[in-house]
């Protein structure tokens, strides 16, 4: 893992002492995304070095299991699905996110189709009367699988977390005749926007995991990296950062950390 590796390197060169006390704080969050409640069962790991003046490392890990399970429902909330007689068909079969070299790739899969109809007026008998009605006398239906893929980068900028589109949305379809129908996947960017909403929800949950109580409103910390990892088989958004040891609220923070983690913090403040 990138964070663990960077800590090992820092320890090897003496930037961060090898001995440190670890404190894990569970901070589950529920975020509403397009009317769907998504749970992010995140946690924050604080590493307090024995060196009284060494900075405190922090790592936020937010698994994306529930987001993945509900992304199809979120994308379907666009309302773009349709199945028209003598017209277009668009079905969303699934949507999921995955690790793309530390970025978050999202893929929406479905089916598109079109029914071409030949209509003509035909005589119809009603109580010995003849009327002309328009009826379908022949039809041809073409169906094809289609998918839309986009890659997003969780970014730390000015100590804030954001998400940026780095590639896509890329449209893939097995039948070029239906490309015009497949473009409905990008209708007013609705699908892309829903996927972005979902990913921003995960980012917002990560930022919320670092919200401290009012008594620690002035406590300083800074982000230095955000990326996607697969940890113990679970896709997760990971944010790392540090907090300087020498600051006015360090004693209050240690008290908070000991209380919420259930493990007393005995590390002395920096003189």
Angle at the Cα of 240 from the Cα atoms of 235 and 245, rounded to 5 degrees: 150
Q: Tell me the C-alpha distance between 92 and 38, whole Å.
A: 20
Among the residue ranges 89-98, 133-142, 159-168, 181-190, the one predicted with the least confidence is 181-190
Domain edges within the chain: 2-68+204-213+231-261, 80-194
- Give the tens place of pLDDT for each residue, 176-185: 666 666 666 6
pTM for the complete prediction? 0.77
pLDDT category at 114 given cuts 50, 70, 90 is confident
Confidence of residue 17 (pLDDT cuts 50, 70, 90): very low
Q: Which strand ranges, in their side-by-side order, compose the sheet holding 129-157?
A: 82-83, 88-100, 103-126, 129-157, 160-173
Question: pLDDT band at residue 115, thresholds of 50, 70 and 90?
Answer: confident
The pLDDT, as a whole number, for residue 188 is: 52
Query: Of residues 217 and 98, which shows the higher confidence score?
Result: 98
pLDDT band at 10 (very low <50, low <70, confident <90, very high): very low
Q: What is the mean pLDDT of the chain?
A: 81
Res 11: pLDDT: 35
Residue 183's pLDDT is what?
65
| Position 193 confidence tier, pLDDT thresholds 50, 70, 90 | confident
Please enumerate in sequence order all residues whose Cβ is within 8 A of that of 238, keeping only pairs 6 or more positions apart, or say none. Answer: 1, 2, 3, 59, 60, 61, 62, 225, 226, 227, 228, 229, 231
Measured between alpha carbons, how far is 268 from 255 in angstroms, rounded to an integer? 12
Query: What Rg do the C-alpha atoms of the chain give, in angstroms?
Result: 27
Output 198 or 268, whichever has higher pLDDT: 198
């Amino acid at each position: 893992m990138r964070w663990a590796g960077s800590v090992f390197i820092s320890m090897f060169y003496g930037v961060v002492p090898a001995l440190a006390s670890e404190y894990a704080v569970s901070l589950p969050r529920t975020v509403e995304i397009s009317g769907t409640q998504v749970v992010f069962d995140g946690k924050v790991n604080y590493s307090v070095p024995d060196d009284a003046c060494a900075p405190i490392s922090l790592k936020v890990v937010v698994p994306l299991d529930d987001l993945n399970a509900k992304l199809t429902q979120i994308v379907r909330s666009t309302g773009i699905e349709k199945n028209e007689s003598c017209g277009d068909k668009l079905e969303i079969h699934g949507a999921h996110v995955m690790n793309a070299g530390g970025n978050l790739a999202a893929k929406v899969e479905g089916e598109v189709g079109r029914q071409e109809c030949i209509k003509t007026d035909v005589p119809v008998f009603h109580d010995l009367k003849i009327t002309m009605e328009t009826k379908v006398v022949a039809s041809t239906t073409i169906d094809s699988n289609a998918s839309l893929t986009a890659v997003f980068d969780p970014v730390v900028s000015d100590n804030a977390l954001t998400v940026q589109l780095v590639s896509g949305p890329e449209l893939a379809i097995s039948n070029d005749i239906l490309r015009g129908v497949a473009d409905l996947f990008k209708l007013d960017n609705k699908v892309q926007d829903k996927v972005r909403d979902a990913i921003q929800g995960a980012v917002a949950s990560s930022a919320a995991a670092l919200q401290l109580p009012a008594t620690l409103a002035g406590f300083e910390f800074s982000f230095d990296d955000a990326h996607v990892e697969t940890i113990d088989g679970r896709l997760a958004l990971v944010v790392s950062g540090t907090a300087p040891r020498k600051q006015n609220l360090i004693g209050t923070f240690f008290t908070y950390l000991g209380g919420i983690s259930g493990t007393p913090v005995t590390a002395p403040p920096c003189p």
